[in-house]
């Protein structure tokens, strides 16, 4: 199943960060794609990201200075969680330039790939997640393989006659169809779908509603720093981790 075949695998150890779901997932991959450690932390992304990073690095007996590459979820999912993770990765890779190698994966493509693994013989299906009222992030499974993530409206969903799955990523704006099967999000199974990894020059987040990958940078929309106001970069300067 080739979607984004990468000629250069991530250098290890690799820090994996996924803020797309209602919990933050962090893991460290070693040689041969084996997990050295991974953890999940529930709660608000700003409060849960750093404890998850610290716990995972401690379990792997590593620090941020020892990381050689990053794998991140580009979305779709929790906008706040994804952007906080993006800011953290960009900051840490500047503090430790040897780690500035990035690989992205799409949350719906990961979930769909695992559906295909767990459901041999599945031919046609639709996977959806909430975007905003009346519209959904959607991905079609064709011939047992996931396709690209796009946007579908309520009418498209209602007219779908094959199997339908729902990935609950965050507090939804709407109820999924009654016939949709809920899917558990499993970033800890990323190693079963490494063909999804896409090398990127920087941390690039998926833009729902526009069927392209749009770069998001932490500099955009930054308010001028006032004397005595918090320095956002200091929040992410966790050099001791």
Contacts (Cβ under 8 Å, ≥6 apart) of 25:
16, 17, 18, 19, 38, 39, 40, 52, 187, 188
At 183 the pLDDT is: 96
Question: What sign for the dihedral angle of Cα 55, 60, 63, 66?
Answer: negative
Per the model's pLDDT, the better-predicted residue between 232 and 160 turns out to be 160
Residue 167 has pLDDT above 50, yes or no: yes
CA Rg value for the chain: 18
Looking at the predicted structure, is the pLDDT value of residue 176 above 90? yes
DSSP assignment letter at 54: H
Given a cut of 60, is residue 211 above it in pLDDT? no
Q: How is the chain split among helix, strand and coil, in percent rounded to 5?
A: 30, 30, 40
For 14-106+187-236, which CATH class? alpha beta
Q: Confidence class of residue 222 from pLDDT cuts 50, 70 and 90?
A: very low
- Domain map (residue ranges) of the chain: 14-106+187-236, 108-182
95-122: per-residue pLDDT in tens? Answer: 999 999 999 999 999 999 999 999 999 9
List the structure tokens of 54: 């610290």
Identify the pLDDT of residue 25: 98
Helix/strand/coil for 59: helix
Tens-digit pLDDT profile for residues 121-137: 999 999 999 998 899 99
pLDDT one-digit tens code per residue, 35-54: 999 999 998 888 999 999 99
């Amino acid at each position: 199943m080739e979607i984004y075949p990468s000629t250069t695998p991530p250098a290890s150890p690799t820090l994996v960060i996924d803020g797309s779901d209602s919990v933050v997932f962090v893991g460290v991959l070693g040689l041969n794609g084996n997990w050295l450690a991974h953890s999940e932390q529930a709660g608000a992304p700003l409060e849960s990201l750093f404890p998850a990073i610290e716990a995972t690095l401690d379990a792997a007996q590593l620090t941020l200075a020892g990381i050689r590459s990053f794998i991140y979820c580009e979305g779709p999912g929790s906008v706040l969680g994804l952007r906080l993770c993006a800011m953290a990765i960009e900051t840490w890779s500047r503090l430790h330039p040897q780690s500035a190698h990035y690989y992205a994966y799409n949350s719906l493509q990961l979930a769909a790939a695992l559906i295909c693994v767990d459901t041999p013989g599945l031919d046609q299906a639709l996977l959806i997640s909430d975007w905003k009222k009346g519209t959904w992030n959607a991905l079609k499974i064709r011939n047992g393989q996931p396709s690209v993530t796009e946007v579908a409206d309520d009418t498209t969903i209602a007219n779908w006659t094959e199997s339908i799955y729902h990935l609950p990523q965050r507090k939804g704006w709407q109820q999924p169809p009654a016939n949709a099967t809920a899917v558990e999000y499993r970033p800890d199974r990323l190693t079963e779908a490494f063909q999804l990894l896409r090398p990127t020059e920087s941390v690039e987040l998926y833009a729902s509603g526009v069927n392209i990958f749009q770069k998001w940078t932490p500099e955009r929309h930054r308010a001028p720093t006032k004397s005595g106001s918090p320095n956002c970069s200091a929040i992410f300067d966790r050099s001791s981790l």
